[in-house]
Structure 1
Amino acid sequence: VGKPLLDLVVPEGVPLVAELLKGMAPGSRLDPIPIKLIGVKGPTVPLSLMGYHLPDLPGNHFFAIRLGSPANSVETLNDESRDPESGLLEKEAFAEFATQQIREAGERGETLKLTMVHTGDLDDLRARMDAEHAENAIRSMGACLQANAAGGQAAGQLDDGAYGFLHKPGLNVDKITDRVEEIFKAADPTGEGISVNTGTVDAGANDMTEADSVRVLLYTVNQFCESGGENFTMASLADNLKSMTRETTEKLAKFKVIAEQSRFDVAFQPIVALDTREIHHFEALARFGKRLDRSPYDLITFAENTGVISDFDLAMARRVLEWLVTENAKGANHVVAVNVSGQSIANTGFVAALHDLLQKFDAIRSQLMFEITESARIDDLDAANRFIQGLRAAGHEVCLDDFGAGAAALRYLHALEVDVVKIDGQYVRNAMEKQRNQAFLKAVAGLCHDLGIATIAEMIEDEPCATMLSGCGVRFGQGYMFGRPSFDVAEFQSLKTPPQTPPVKKLATLPKVQETGEVIMPDEMKTRKPTGSRRPKTPQNRW
């Protein structure tokens, strides 16, 4: 009794409560926010604070506290979901929580606004202050955004100097901008501060699923962070946000239709043995024509960044399997590799759907290979390896794409048991430029050989490059020297074709996929003894 409210709040919560008090005009109401108070034995459990600024007694407030966080709280998120410096939600957590808030507001018949904040060079500002003052300034700025955000929480740190918060339409954003500038100016010993620009867009709910809404918001946030610059103005930032959101929404909808209805073409590029120049197999590459005004690379990157690549990976596998059936009926015996994103591997729904699809084409399993792309997106290497072993046990060979010479590549090679690795084209170019780089390439090829793993090199454009790679121990190659991607594999008849080989041996009992997407390996593979190689040596082995 008799203590100021701020003296009762845990230190990390003081900036937020202080900003809330500062922003409450007479007659205004404070929606429930989560706080913790200083208890006898330490911080209390999460509490809900709500209040009212008495209109007849300016400067006096009525507050009520109850046990438990507000129903729409993100208090349950761990500390990793918040930026340690600003106290705001990290980018992914912000996108998810903001989308939830937008949906709930729409169900109540309410609308919300999304404001992005771009500050000047924070590093210069930090250099002018000691660590404590810099930390307090950033924390106060975060508290200001959080205090004015929907539910006192829907504010996020998107990048260094880039922030966003969700709020009610009536909020005076100019006032918030001035307040943030005031915080930095007061903390700066020179009194200069830094510039602050904001842009606001409508954040109304749409016809997309909540998952797609999160994807659009997160992708827009990423685009906003990448496009930030010194020439931003409030008007241009707002216009950029509107166009980014609209374009992302439209592009996502179009891409989902392309994946669902297989509205793409498949081109094939040969992979050849560098010693005999025989075609070993083809890589299937997507071509979109004029369906979307982007290159195939840009579209696939967009799909990976928005989390819809799994739908496309499945559609591509289906198209290639159907093509193989047609070609087999003509007497052909092609082997084709399709790409699977590292992001798809983590999607249990995709894993289950893929195994269901492959089961329908059981007779031609050995003609379909898989290339694991975007391995940097793989967080759980053990789970990824279980996925890979499930494919191999069922008769599919697996390649690790975009392989490099760094420590990360060796970590993947140690954790992921594959049949072949494809060396990234950048390393091939580097090896052509410097003799020293060839030593790294030779070391990678030698390590793979000792592990029983074949090697493919990308971007081979001339004979000197092919000769250099052969000298380094790389056995297979891909590039314009052997053929550009084509819709008709007959164009590659000038290249030799290998004699037809028996299919890769499958296990008698195929892996089972649970509803969770986990691949359960058959007993015969669990008990298989090592042969001294990561890949079993059999007469049927094509490598």
Structure 2
Amino acid sequence: MTLEPELKAERDRFVAFAFCWSDIVLELDLDFNIVFVGGAITPVTGKSDAQLIGTAVTDIIDDDDLDVFLQVVSATTADNRIESVSIKLKGRKGPTPPIEMMGYRVRDLKDHLFLGLRLGNNFGRATDLKKDKASGLLDNKSFLQAAQTRIKQQATAGEHVEMTMLDMDQLQELANTLGNDDAGHLMNSVGAYLRSSSIGGDTAGRIDDNKFGIIHKSGMDVDQLQNKISQMASKASGGKVTLDVKAATMEVDADHISDEDLANGLAYTINQFKNAKGADFTTGSLTRNMSALVKEAHEKITTFKNVVKEREFFIAFQPIIGTRDGKIHHYECLARFRGEHAGKSPYEYIVFAEETGLIPDFDLAMAQMALQWLAQQPKGRQVHVAVNISGYSVGDSRYVNQLIMMLRDNEWARDSLMFEITESSRLENLDEANVFIQTLRNMGHKVCLDDFGAGAASFQYLSTLEVDIVKLDGSAIHNALRAPKGRSFLIALGNLCRDLKVETIAEQIDDPRGLTFVRDCGIGYVQGYLFGKPSPDVTTFDPLPKAELFSKKAMSSNAATPAILARI
């Protein structure tokens, strides 16, 4: 009898220990039915303890996280704890915010599974993390953000982790051949499996259509991961497709790496992986430790900063030409590198600068160089140039403030200097971006929106961002040339822009056929190698190469239809 108070006190003590960390505790039997529940379950789910006892725990797990939950709890043994997995419950008013879950299976207590759930934003997770709809995984940018946070947390706790990049070459192609339901099930299954294999169940991301990344415990069986995904693909295709899953795993030794260096190293690694094609992706190409990659990224960052500081680049001009009169409307300012960097791909430099947060400084330098060039032009020469602004820079307050100050100091250039917003998909807040664009326009500078294509996002940009010009993406033009309904689409797009009083430019016009096509579709201006490659000397385009394409004879032999002319 004297033991009963002691046993009760001991029990209460352990319950108190549990609630030091957990807000909700659950005991599940072998069928994952709830046999005990305690804590704040009623305020969260709207169901009492009595209502939940005897029911399946899956009834209170949010549908989007159900696959991950089942994979995690099914794999749990007495030797394998559940450590910091993120799930959502079915709350009173819909899915709850992410809840941290830990668990342990106890052999001596009927092999039951004991779970502790902790409410709140316990990992300092960003609330703006975005997910890929098809797989349920974090998108490229959000994966980078979550990976950095999780890696630093694990390092603080003394835990070593690894990052594995997975290239599933034919996954999206396979999904496209399946019906909507089967394709959705395949992508969801792959996503759920990767999430359940990641630390916390929330550090797996979709880098590109067929490329994925995952942060996981050191020593995880990556071969098993590859085989499991291949089996999923084989099952989905009825055994017709054998998916080749390539993997590269790297140790993430973040103990003595600063937050900034870690972010740059991760961005550099993920960007390398995303842009690798075919034979470029090998196990050896990425299987290095984070310290080595941070060093490599740091060297590239230092090099790029010096390129900007020492102005080891120059402007090459490419003309934008009226489709009907052959007159140059303006020139786009493109960067070309000199010295030891001469001949290197400007695209690779720019992408690297965007991924590592260096692009605002480069964009400012280009604007300064354009202003200096304009100031050196002879009196009487009317020339207009457009300088690129990355979508990354639009969201950088320091860049915005410095650019506005620069333009106020050079009001004489308002009629000559235009701006072109590139990488518009990087614009995170369209309303704020539009405020910036209107500031430029109110100062007298025209603004062009680059990368305008056939996707729904482009039309959202056009409806929110008030611009003077849109530049039609080269791939959209080429697709319109090939597609049976391409001409009709481009005509409709041109008419829409005219109704909005927005001018149109077709880029990558490299042959007379392309010029005739876009002119017949009512597009106002063209840009491309048909009129020569970009040059540091604008007199290269005076007289304009291929000017005969705008002769009366050429125009009359390729006349637009009356319906189009009526709208021009």
- The TM-score bracket by the shorter chain reads 0.5 to 0.7
- Does structure 1 retain, via aligned residues, the 8 Å contact 2:251–2:289? no
Q: For 1:116 and 1:217, how far apart are their aligned partners in 2?
A: 10
Q: 1:106 offset after TM fit, Å?
A: 4.0
Q: 1:389 offset after TM fit, Å?
A: 2.1
Deviations 1:504-533 (A, max 9, x none): xxxxxxxxxxxxxxxxxxxxxxxxxxxxxx
Deviations 1:138-185 (A, max 9, x none): 766655544443234323344566443212323343454566667778
Aligned CA RMSD, in angstroms, stands at: 5.4
Amino acid at match of 1:284: C
1:215 aligns with 2:264: no
- Does structure 2 retain, via aligned residues, the 8 Å contact 1:81–1:89? yes
Amino acid at match of 1:391: L
- Does structure 1 retain, via aligned residues, the 8 Å contact 2:251–2:288? no
Q: For 2:82 and 2:479, how far apart are their aligned partners in 1?
A: 60
Equivalent residue, structure 2, for 1:296: 346
Q: 1:4 offset after TM fit, Å?
A: 0.8
Amino acid at match of 1:242: T
Alignment gaps of 5+ in structure 1: 496-543
2:412 to 363, 368, 379: 363
Equivalent residue, structure 2, for 1:7: 33
- Does structure 2 retain, via aligned residues, the 8 Å contact 1:268–1:489? yes
Aligned positions, number: 484
**Matched ranges for 1:386-397 at <5 A:** 386-397=435-446
Q: For 1:458 and 1:139, how far apart are their aligned partners in 2?
A: 37
Equivalent residue, structure 2, for 1:511: none
**Matched ranges for 1:497-508 at <5 A:** none
Equivalent residue, structure 1, for 2:220: 171
Equivalent residue, structure 2, for 1:72: 123
TM-score under structure 2 normalisation? 0.64
Q: For 1:456 and 1:252, how far apart are their aligned partners in 2?
A: 34
Equivalent residue, structure 1, for 2:251: 202
Equivalent residue, structure 2, for 1:519: none
Gap change, CA 1:332 and 1:147, over 3 Å in 2: same
Alignment gaps of 5+ in structure 2: 1-25, 35-56, 545-568
Q: What SS does the corresponding residue of 1:216 show, helix, strand or coil?
A: helix
Q: What SS does the corresponding residue of 1:262 show, helix, strand or coil?
A: coil
Moved more, 380-389 or 138-147: 138-147
Q: What SS does the corresponding residue of 1:151 show, helix, strand or coil?
A: helix
Q: 1:266 offset after TM fit, Å?
A: 1.0
Amino acid at match of 1:7: N
- Does structure 1 retain, via aligned residues, the 8 Å contact 2:313–2:335? yes
Gap change, CA 1:490 and 1:243, over 3 Å in 2: farther
Q: What SS does the corresponding residue of 1:370 show, helix, strand or coil?
A: strand
Q: 1:394 offset after TM fit, Å?
A: 0.6
Gap change, CA 1:493 and 1:340, over 3 Å in 2: same
Deviations 1:310-333 (A, max 9, x none): 3322221122112323446x8866
**Matched ranges for 1:117-516 at <5 A:** 117-118=166-167, 135=185, 142=191, 144-158=193-207, 162-177=211-226, 197-205=246-254, 206=257, 208-209=260-261, 211-213=263-265, 215-223=267-275, 227=278, 237-242=282-287, 246=293, 254-259=303-308, 261-271=310-320, 280-289=329-338, 290-291=340-341, 294-301=344-351, 303-304=353-354, 308-327=358-377, 334-375=383-424, 378=427, 381-401=430-450, 415-422=464-471, 453=502, 478=527, 484-491=533-540
Q: 1:265 offset after TM fit, Å?
A: 1.1
Q: For 1:44 and 1:481, how far apart are their aligned partners in 2?
A: 56
Gap change, CA 1:117 and 1:459, over 3 Å in 2: closer
Amino acid at match of 2:283: A
TM-score under structure 1 normalisation? 0.67
Q: What SS does the corresponding residue of 1:358 show, helix, strand or coil?
A: helix
Deviations 1:311-359 (A, max 9, x none): 322221122112323446x886643221223443344443233212222
Q: What SS does the corresponding residue of 2:414 show, helix, strand or coil?
A: helix
1:31 aligns with 2:83: yes
Equivalent residue, structure 1, for 2:165: 116
Q: For 2:483 and 2:227, how far apart are their aligned partners in 1?
A: 54
- Does structure 2 retain, via aligned residues, the 8 Å contact 1:51–1:62? yes
Moved more, 8-17 or 94-103: 8-17
Gap change, CA 1:109 and 1:272, over 3 Å in 2: same
Amino acid at match of 2:370: V
Question: Percent identity between the aligned chains?
Answer: 36
Q: For 2:503 and 2:142, how far apart are their aligned partners in 1?
A: 41
Q: For 1:24 and 1:311, how far apart are their aligned partners in 2?
A: 50
- Does structure 1 retain, via aligned residues, the 8 Å contact 2:335–2:346? yes
- Does structure 2 retain, via aligned residues, the 8 Å contact 1:47–1:68? yes
